[in-house]
Amino acid sequence: MPAIVLVFTSARIRPEPRVPLGTVIMITVSRRRFLQISGTTAGLAAAGSVAGGLARGGAVAEAPETGVRTVPTYCDICFWKCGAIAYVRDGQLWKIEGNPADPLSRGRLCPRGTGGVGAHVDPDRLKAPLVRRQKRGQEEWAEVTWDEALNVVAEKLQKIKAEYGPEAVALFSHGIGGTFLKHTLRAFGTPNMAAPSFAQCRGPRDVGFALTFGEEVGSPERTDIRNARCLVLIGSHLGENMHNTQAQEFAEAIGAGASIIVVDPRFSVAASKAKHYLPIKPGADLALLLAWMNVLVTEGLYDKEYVDAHGFGFDTFKAEIASSTPEWAYPETGIEPSVIRETAREMARHRPATLVHPGRHATWYGDDTQRSRAIALLNALLGSWGRKGGFWKPVQMTVPGYPYPPYPKPDKGKVDNPNGKYPFASEALTTGIREATITGAPYPVKGWMVYATNLLQAMPDQRETIRAIQALDLLVVVDVIPSEIAGWADVVLPETTYLERYDDLNVEWFREPFVALRQPVVHAPHAQKPNWWIARQLALRLGLGAYYPWTTIEEYLDYRLTKAGLSFDTLKKQGIIHGEKQPVFFDEGAEASFPTASRKIDFYSTTLREAGFDPVPKFTRPEPPPEGSFRLLFGRAPMHSFSRTQSNPILHDGMSENAVWVNVHVATRLGLTDGAYVRLRNQDGVLSARIRLKATERIRPDCVYMVHGFGHTSKRLTRALGKGASDAQLVTRYATDPLMGGTGMNVNFVTLEAEA
């Protein structure tokens, strides 16, 4: 392995030979293959087989299925949608592998995708529809039939509509499975639907890039990681953040000798692969970005030709960043001026194949859109947008939608962002709907339908979420397991897992166009039903049958594919159909268009100026933790997705609890020992569940870190209950981004208490 140069500045951090908790599968084999993405958990997966083959549960009694069959589909353990091939042996789900024909998985799944078998066999799964029998939140229900459950929901929705109008019903949903419920609720007449993937995740990034280049980064991100010669990761902890394609391309870039620069207060897995590691003071990234740009401009290292051809307002931008020198940034960031200069020059050396990764979970400090805009501007200076090794332009196949009658036009506008308070909120705000539910303004919200999002773990300030729930007339949760949000529901509807259902087509925006199919591999083991069936049955009961001219989803899918000139049968066999390659880089003939106000790359944004915001990003120092407190940071582990996989028996075995990372010198000073249980108390007095302490040199002394998604409190999640602590519980404070309403959640401070 080539030498890895580690740059340590103010923080006393040293790399640790030990692999961090939760990264057991990150085996350092070689530079090329350090990320063991493929079949590492196949042995575990094989152990998970239970009854549930497609041969069971049919109307006609069939002979038991024998032999092995394979079914192509796409994964849903996270939202990346990797193409997979599921194996069924003697009627039982056996294992899942990557589909080699799929550009997202490229034949390999991440550990979570491989562990998808566990979602099917999880004994804690919701099995039948439930109707609440006790006070909200007590998790006491009666099992009912689908007819009874859907009738209750339809009746209550009609009552809310009659009293307050259809807009008083809101839908929270995450992922492609929400498509048909959205359709039903649009037909019902509400415009209010939101996902945490905007205001709690990528919203500021997409808005920041759109304000600069006129286009969003999107998902999957349009990042050409595999061709990057220099890759800059600012917080993006690829390798722990297991978005499969990106993790694979990251390994490929390292294998090809790309220069890696990692900026993170914590020595992440990605940092261990870096040529330069910058342990930044949390929240100071914008200062670093401005200083980097200052160096590129003052030393004349930026792509002048590209900026001249495509840039708008460069001279004003240059004047604005003139004072943001590395010396100015040093006390803010803790990164020495020489290091800032050296890394800026490194980026310039490899341009335009230098990719400053835009990140994904960008809701950190409340100034996130401006920080993301600075990342966009740095890429613009390096000329990487539209260039190989930078950002490609996504392409997509044309697959027409199903022709439905037009939706009714709601009388009232969307409830989440009254009077355009957040002028650049390009998608709906979950927190805005929550606020309207609590206050009744601008108008009352009385019903929530929640699909595949655990709002109690995903939204900041659980107390506010519970307050909003208490103000509702109806809370319906569609989930696969008894999640925390299901625990508060009036009606719980059990969905089939992704391995037991069709979903809508994935007509992907990617560097090559393709369409992928999710299809049933095995039968649902109990009374669970797929989302399309639930959405359709609900529509029928709401008198909206005209919006469901098809009776089965096969009819719907066949119609769409036929219209596109594609064969449903072929797609069922292959799981994927490729479209024709198209140019995705400017040099190859992709159009260099920038749909901003100036039709160019906005170095200076008149759009922002007119809305009363800084036209060129400016740094504001984040509030430091009070003496004796630490900033709470959080992130991902390769074995888990958010709060959705901790009860999955296979993934639970891979990592059963999280730990809190604390700088070893801090731990020693506080008399806390590695591996012992502690509790965290936040600035508002909220005390966490007990969590193991990981005393390490791999984190700055001013912050602590934990993996998100643990600390479940739902009584019915028997395997996950009481294991580890929840960052979400401690996020009682958030800083709202004034541009687009994103909720910066890295603004909570905690103290540590030894567990007796």
Ligand X SMILES: Nc1nc2c(c(=O)[nH]1)N[C@H]1C(S)=C(S)[C@@H](COP(=O)(O)OP(=O)(O)OC[C@H]3O[C@@H](n4cnc5c(=O)[nH]c(N)nc54)[C@H](O)[C@@H]3O)O[C@H]1N2
Among 237, 393, 446, 723, binds ligand X (CB under 6 A): 237
In angstroms and rounded to an integer, the radius of gyration of the C-alpha atoms of the chain is 25
Q: How far is the CB of 82 from ligand SF4 (least distance, A)?
A: 3
- Listing DSSP states for 25-60 in one string gives T-----STT-S--SSTTHHHHHHT--S-BTTSS-SS
Residue 388 is a binding residue for ligand X (CB under 6 A)? no
- 361 vs 387, beta carbon nearer Mo ion: 361
- 613 vs 642, beta carbon nearer Mo ion: 642
What is the C-alpha to C-alpha distance for residues 293 and 374, in angstroms, rounded to an integer? 9
Residue 313 is a binding residue for ligand X (CB under 6 A)? no
| Both structure tokens of 489 | 């529901």
Residue 693 is a binding residue for ligand SF4 (CB under 6 A)? no
**412-439: b (≥16 Cβ within 10 Å) or e:** bebbbbeeeebbbbebbbbbbbbbbbee
Q: How far is the CB of 78 from Mo ion (least distance, A)?
A: 9
Structural contact between residues 735 and 686, judged by C-beta atoms closer than 8 angstroms: no
- 39 vs 214, beta carbon nearer ligand SF4: 39
- 189 vs 709, beta carbon nearer Mo ion: 709
Dihedrals phi, psi of 634, to nearest 5 degrees: -150, 165
Among the listed ranges 25-33, 109-117, 334-342, 393-401, the one in contact with ligand SF4 (CB under 6 A) is 109-117
- Listing DSSP states for 537-587 in one string gives HHHHHTT-GGG---SSHHHHHHHHHHHTT--HHHHHHHSEEE------SGG
Residue 200 is a binding residue for ligand X (CB under 6 A)? yes
Q: What is the DSSP letter of 628?
A: T
What is the C-alpha to C-alpha distance for residues 629 and 246, in angstroms, rounded to an integer? 35
Residue 110 is a binding residue for ligand SF4 (CB under 6 A)? yes
Q: How far is the CB of 360 from ligand SF4 (least distance, A)?
A: 12
Helix axes 326-333 and 337-350, enclosed angle (nearest 10): 110
Residue 659 is a binding residue for ligand X (CB under 6 A)? no
Residue 244 is a binding residue for ligand X (CB under 6 A)? no
Site string for ligand X, 118-157 (x = CB under 6 A): ----------------------------------------
Structural contact between residues 737 and 367, judged by C-beta atoms closer than 8 angstroms: yes
Residue 67's identity, in one-letter code, is: G
- 596 vs 746, beta carbon nearer ligand X: 746
Residue 504 is a binding residue for ligand X (CB under 6 A)? no
Q: How far is the CB of 297 from ligand X (least distance, A)?
A: 22
514 exposed, middle or buried (CB, 10 Å; 0-12, 13-18, 19+)? buried
Structural contact between residues 127 and 370, judged by C-beta atoms closer than 8 angstroms: no
Residue 747 is a binding residue for ligand X (CB under 6 A)? no
What is the C-alpha to C-alpha distance for residues 490 and 487, in angstroms, rounded to an integer? 9
Residues from 330 through 369 that contact ligand X (CB under 6 A): 359-361, 364
Residues from 26 through 85 that contact ligand SF4 (CB under 6 A): 75, 77-78, 80-82
659-663 and 601-602 beta bridge pairing: unpaired
Q: Which does 235 bind (CB under 5 to 8 A by kind): Mo ion, ligand SF4, ligand X, none?
A: ligand X
Residue 277 is a binding residue for ligand X (CB under 6 A)? no
Residue 462 is a binding residue for ligand X (CB under 6 A)? no
Q: Which does 81 bind (CB under 5 to 8 A by kind): Mo ion, ligand X, ligand SF4, none?
A: ligand SF4
Q: How far is the CB of 639 from ligand X (least distance, A)?
A: 7
Among the listed ranges 319-327, 407-415, 449-457, 558-566, the one in contact with ligand X (CB under 6 A) is 449-457
Among the listed ranges 238-246, 454-462, 572-580, 608-616, the one in contact with ligand SF4 (CB under 6 A) is 238-246
What is the C-alpha to C-alpha distance for residues 186 and 146, in angstroms, rounded to an integer? 22
- 75 vs 290, beta carbon nearer ligand SF4: 75
Among 352, 390, 520, 635, binds ligand X (CB under 6 A): 635
Q: Which helix (H) or strand (E) holds 354?
A: strand 354-356
Q: How far is the CB of 126 from ligand X (least distance, A)?
A: 9
Q: How far is the CB of 109 from ligand SF4 (least distance, A)?
A: 4
With the C-alpha atoms ordered 335, 339, 345, 349, is the resulting torsion angle positive or negative?
negative
- For 314, the 3-state DSSP assignment is helix
* Nearest residue to ligand SF4 on Cβ basis: 113
Residue 113 is a binding residue for ligand SF4 (CB under 6 A)? yes
Beta bridge partners of residue 130, listed in sequence order: 143, 492
- 347 vs 452, beta carbon nearer ligand X: 452
474-479 and 447-451 beta bridge pairing: parallel
- For 207, the 3-state DSSP assignment is helix
Residue 112 is a binding residue for ligand SF4 (CB under 6 A)? yes
With the C-alpha atoms ordered 723, 684, 708, 706, is the resulting torsion angle positive or negative?
negative
Q: How far is the CB of 458 from Mo ion (least distance, A)?
A: 9
Write out the residues near ligand X by the rule CB under 6 A: 76, 78, 174, 177, 196-197, 200-201, 234-237, 241-243, 263-266, 268, 280, 282-283, 285, 359-361, 364, 451-454, 457-458, 478-481, 483, 495, 497-498, 633-638, 640-644, 705, 708, 727-728, 731, 745-746
Write out the residues near ligand SF4 by the rule CB under 6 A: 75, 77-78, 80-82, 109-110, 112-113, 242-244
